[in-house]
Amino acid sequence: MTSTGSPQSITQPDSSADGIAWDLRDLYAGSDDPLIDRDLQTALQRARTFETTYRGKVHVEGGPTPQLLATAMRELESLSEQRDKPLAYASLLHSAQTDDPARGALLSRTHEQATAVNQHLIFFDLEWIQVPDEAARPLIAAPSLSRYSHTLEQKRAWKPHYLSEPEEKIHDEKTITGRAAFVRLFEETTSSIRFPIEHDGRTETLSMQQTLSKLYNPDRAVRKAAAEGLTAGLKENARLLTFIFNNLVLDHQTDCRLRRFPDPMASRHLANEIRPEVVDALMTGAERHTATVQRYYRLKGKLLGLDALYDYDRYAPLFSDMPGCEWETGRRIVQESYEAFSPRAGGIIREFFEKRWIDAEPRPGKRGGAFSSSAVPSVHPYILMNYSGQLRDVMTLAHELGHGLHQYLARPVGYFQCGTPLTTAETASVFGEMLTFRRLLELYPDPRTRLALLCSKIEDGFATVFRQVLLTRFEQSLHKARQERGELTTEQINELWMEANRPMYGDAVRLSDGYGWWWLYIGHFIRSPFYCYAYAFGELLVLALVEKYRQEGAAFVPKYLDLLAAGGSAAPDALLARLGVDVTDPGFWELGLRLLGEMVDQAEELAAKL
Ligand SMILES: [Zn+2]
């Protein structure tokens, strides 16, 4: 799929972040850097040697020696990083300009090469999981393997779900033209759609990101036009996008069946290192608080002076004269809020800005949304976002820098253990947002601005807690329906989407007919099935951590930074226990949910005083 519009014809508003583009030269000098191919070739050569050296040496009577396993793990770690570096670079290049065919081609090539490398490595995990428990346990505990102990343990948790080696190889190789290809088709399709926004007698054609950002416009007519344009663009592409959804849901089901997972969420829970009961308690807990959501939207409707609040009013700014925020100011606010929390954290954040690890300018063809990529631990993370100059962009910047800080601090634990499961992946990002939110409250003492900030924080909290729970419920029903009824039509999925939305909004928000189509652009369903509850987990966890910081003050800071630096070197519940947090207690989620409710109380009080 190539881009359908020429970039020059698109209306591209100026942004104060124009020119803020990342410098990827810490990875490679450019897309034609010969080191890319050299790394790919060397990684492949090393993988072949690895296979010849270690095949048949791990699954042996009594298990391997700690020395042999440690040497093998070190080599595996180093060659995996060499394999991933070109891939990380290519995917950053591609996300910065998805409509450039040369970048798409480089991404494919690095992906294919990485898969070729993996073909020689698959045996290793399979041999390791076959080592009997009594031989594996002392190895996991061996001091010489401490850098890998959690990885070694985690690999074994997947034991019941592995296929045979030839099956794993075929599966892995076919993924390139299967799942991965459909994900890319989705990305390229959604970023090439031009949405027709009809307003004031003229039609603008905007990218998805630009269209979504119009839902935050103070003018209701603009929001309504954006909502209608979004629906129109999605409808236009619904056949292809629905096909991609159906196909990827089926692909996931096939995987679950082949790998003997009892339900579609089970593999995600295992990867998240979380027990299903914990997630159930989180989701049902949130669903018990939908009254908080509805109470808030009724307040918002009143503040906006609307008889009925529609879906396209949910993100409306409360006051039309809210201050915007230029890139330089936003940068300073975020910098200062991290600095005030911890000079060490502040110093790391400064590096991101000064060394140009952030790509912030909006550009046609650039991937929408925002992310922080850990790239490879021997280099450093990179951040992509689309800075349009609103206060909420400042929060996004703080969010992604939280990820960046986390990824940066966890680099020393190494390639295998630096990444966290999704459940705790949002800890530092949401915490960083909270720090910046408080800084913003200090900087803007005017009650109207404070109310607006508070409301936007509440809305963010809703987006990360209630909306993500709702998205997960939708995904559950989508997978169930696909399994029971076979391939689904767009209209059938629209209905599932509306059914998942209604309980949360009740009669406080009117959902227009067009809203039924809005599941079509949500990339999480495509990229990582059942990702969404991790956001709710992260947000509620962070609200509890914020409470701890409030109680403990400066004593909390080093413990928190240690938590980040630990990366994924132990299971989340074990890492959090070090901070005195028990996520396995079903009542734990109530704490964060109540805090969200209290924020709505505060907003009601502030509003009453205006
Ligand atoms: Zn995030």
How many domains is the chain built from? 2
Instruction: Give the C-alpha separation, 511 to 314, whole Å.
Output: 10
Q: Which residues contact 577 (CB under 8 A, 6 or more apart)?
A: none
Query: What value does the mean pLDDT take over residues 223-244?
Result: 97
**pLDDT tens for each residue of 371-409:** 999 999 999 999 999 999 988 899 999 999 999 999 999
Residue 428 is part of a domain; what is its CATH number? 1.10.10
Residue 87 is part of a domain; what is its CATH number? 1.20.140.70
Query: What value does the mean pLDDT take over residues 61-72?
Result: 96
Q: Does residue 230 sit within a domain?
A: no
pLDDT over 80 at 99, yes or no? yes
Among 443, 474, 499, the domain boundary falls at 443
pLDDT at position 609, please?
A: 87
Q: Which two tokens stand for residue 311?
A: 């879906």
CA of 399 to the centre of ligand 1 (A): 6
CA of 542 to the centre of ligand 1 (A): 13
pLDDT over 60 at 4, yes or no? no
Q: Does residue 585 sit within a domain?
A: no
Residue with tokens 């190789």: 173
Q: Does residue 41 sit within a domain?
A: yes
CA of 362 to the centre of ligand 1 (A): 19
Among 392, 419, 443, the domain boundary falls at 443
Domain of residue 339 covers 327-443
Q: Does residue 88 sit within a domain?
A: yes
Nearest to 425 by CA among 284, 572, 543: 572
Q: Does residue 68 sit within a domain?
A: yes
User: Residues within 5 Å of ion ligand 1 by Cβ?
Assistant: 429
CA of 469 to the centre of ligand 1 (A): 16
Global pTM reads 0.81
CA of 489 to the centre of ligand 1 (A): 31
Q: Does residue 208 sit within a domain?
A: no
Question: Which run of H or E residues covers position 380?
Answer: none
Query: What value does the mean pLDDT take over residues 509-519?
Result: 96
pLDDT over 50 at 7, yes or no? no
pLDDT over 90 at 63, yes or no? yes
pLDDT over 70 at 522, yes or no? yes
* Amino acid at site 558: P
CA of 425 to the centre of ligand 1 (A): 7
Q: Which residues contact 422 (CB under 8 A, 6 or more apart)?
A: 268, 271, 272, 528, 531, 534
**pLDDT tens for each residue of 102-131:** 999 999 999 999 999 999 999 999 999 999
Query: What value does the mean pLDDT take over residues 127-147?
Result: 95
First to last CA, the chain: 52
Q: Name the band, by pLDDT with cuts 50, 70 and 90, for residue 13.
A: low
**57 to each of 50, 77, 126, 127, how far by Cα in Å?**
11, 18, 12, 8
Query: What value does the mean pLDDT take over residues 158-183?
Result: 92
Task: Rounding to the nearest 10 degrees, give the CA dihedral for residues 245, 246, 249, 251.
Answer: -110
More confident residue, 587 or 394: 394
Q: Does residue 388 sit within a domain?
A: yes
Among 158, 177, 196, the domain boundary falls at 177
pLDDT at position 3, please?
A: 30
CA of 75 to the centre of ligand 1 (A): 31
* Amino acid at site 549: Y
Q: Does residue 212 sit within a domain?
A: no
pLDDT over 90 at 10, yes or no? no
User: Residue-wise over 417-438: b if at least 16 C-beta within 10 A, else e?
Assistant: bbbbbbbbbbbbbbbbbbbbbb
CA of 345 to the centre of ligand 1 (A): 18
Q: Are 331 and 383 in contact (CB under 8 A)?
A: no
CA of 609 to the centre of ligand 1 (A): 35
Q: Which residues contact 34 (CB under 8 A, 6 or more apart)?
A: none
More confident residue, 249 or 550: 249
CA of 402 to the centre of ligand 1 (A): 8
Q: Name the band, by pLDDT with cuts 50, 70 and 90, for residue 317.
A: confident
